[in-house]
Amino acid sequence: MKLSDKPTAHLLLKAGTNSEWDNCSFAIVHITEDWKKEQQKRLEMVKPFAEDYFLQSLNYYDTAVDFYTADEDDNPDLYKWLENKPMVFVEVDKDELETLSVPENRLDCYRLVMYKTGTAMYKAYGKHTSEEFWTEEFPLTPLIQQL
C-alpha cells in the first residue's frame, strides 16, 4: 500500500470498535464513479434539512467499505499517514487487500451515516455480537467534486 497525493479509488480512514475482544484500526472505502454519483444524490437529499436543528443524520445501506486490523508495530506507515488527517488516498491492488487482516467479527448491516454538514462515516455491526465498528467522519464534498 502506498500513500498518494492524488485522488485514487481507495480512501484510507481511521476506524474503531466498541468490542472488548476484537480489533479494528482502519477502513478502506472503495470509490467508483457510481459511488460518487450516489453520494452526490444523497447530499442533495440532505440539503433541505440543513436548518433542521433536530435532524442528526440520514442512514443508507452502503457496502463500499472494508474494515481492517493493523498492529502499529507492523504497520507504522498507516498510523503515521492518519496521524493528523481524517483520510488519505492510497494505492492498493486487489491482491494486497486480500492479505490485510480483518476483524474476527463477521460484519453485517453496513451503513453510511450522512450528516447535514456534508460529512459522513461508515458503520457496521458484528453479525452475531452486535458490536459496532465505525470509521472517522470524513468530508464527502471533496470526494465527489471531481464529477
Domain boundaries, the chain: 2-144
| Full-model pTM | 0.92
d(CA 86, CA 82): 6
Burial class, 107, CB count within 10 angstroms (exposed 0-12 / middle 13-18 / buried 19+): buried
Residue 146: the pLDDT is 59
Instruction: Say which residues have a Cβ less than 8 Å from residue 126's Cβ, sequence separation at least 6.
Output: 19, 22, 103, 105, 106, 107, 108, 132, 133
Residue tagged 457496521 (cell numbers): 124
pLDDT tens by residue, the chain, 147 residues: 899 999 999 999 999 999 999 999 999 999 999 999 999 999 998 888 888 989 889 999 999 999 999 876 777 787 788 888 879 999 999 999 998 999 999 999 999 999 988 999 999 999 999 999 999 999 998 898 754
- In 3-state terms, what secondary structure has residue 142? helix
